[in-house]
Structure 1
Amino acid sequence: MAKYNDSKCRLCRREGAKLFLKGDRCYTDKCAYDRRPYAPGHAGRARKKLSDYALQLREKQKVRRVYGVLERQFSNYFVKADMAKGVTGTNLLSFLERRLDNVIYRIGFANSRSQARQLVRHGIFTLNGRKVNIPSLLVKIGDQLSIPEKNRKIPVVAEAQEVIARRGCPAWLEVEASAFKATVKALPQRDDIQFPINESLIVELYSK
């Protein structure tokens, strides 16, 4: 499977926005995007007028990098979103939000989505009482996510309560930090996604 091994901060600078790929570090003065808020490379400071296609492409790349999915995965999500009832762009974001690795990040049991993926692959969590190791699994209403007793002493997991208190949790998820478990109360709505995303540009890109 393809993996990005370069500096994650370069991705934020390329997209011209904080993607919060390094967790809490992005909130500190060590954030590379705050110190150099322009694209990487020798021509990074130059102002360029982007075409409509370039704007659509950059928006798609930004969302894909935020959620950490590959090009083919993202394309498959769009096909599913287009076939589902409702607004295609909203459906797309809902599918991405329902990914297990994203839910782990949202409830504060990991510092970033990439860290959440690693923890899921190591079988740290259980879903409805069964161990899971597939980061792309989509949760549904009523699903219960928990951390078994034997895994609660892992340093990253042990910080869960502090992270949840600092970052907060979306309304469609209910967290019991002291019990190391969470429940999916509803499907994510567009208002639950506060990150600045213009999904209509992505729909326009794939509709060509």
Structure 2
Amino acid sequence: MSGTNPDLVVGADGLARPVWAAGDPVLREYYDTEWGMPVRDEAGLYERIVLEGFQSGLSWRTVLAKRPAFREVFHGFDPDAVAAMGAPDVERLMGDVRIIRNRRKIEAAVTNARATVALREHEGLAELVWSFQPVDTPRPERFADVPTVSPESRALSQELKRRGFAFVGPTTMHALMEAIGMVDTHLVGSHRRGSSGLWPDRA
């Protein structure tokens, strides 16, 4: 354990991680290298929006395990390629056991690709998403301190829906904001706290 905080575990490498990322090697690798790091490119943000949508109601571990297959069937999350997919493609994916076979979520991936392409005529997906970055970030010490929604995630959700996106509810968008470093919800004491470089004075 890390001090008296049961939500943190010190691994054999001497680094403190939250319980959810301490045991499973897939989650540990994701936590140590990717979660909470800034993502500012269109394809990267589109991928994470889609995957956060697929995660709704499921575990993130399930999504991570299937991410290679998702990347294959969604053409490397190239918005142009996915935007060109139609009903036959959706039916084909509904029969692909390697992915999460949820029709509404698969259709949302296509819908969101088309919305992403349409945004290029305006500010673009990356600029739109990052315009909702809050002025401060939480400093959670325990899991109970980590918010699951925020005024900014509600506003981002509303704006993305207005722009034609689907499966972008406030809780899902808050998870996105955590995943791409817009907020830092690494627990205080974790070796990854402050790793995004966006909140150095609040680590």
The alignment's TM-score, normalised by the length of structure 1, stands at: 0.34
Structure holding more strand per residue: 1
The answer to which structure, 1 or 2, has the higher relative contact order (CA under 8 A, 6+ apart) is 2
The alignment's TM-score, normalised by the length of structure 2, stands at: 0.34
Structure holding more helix per residue: 2
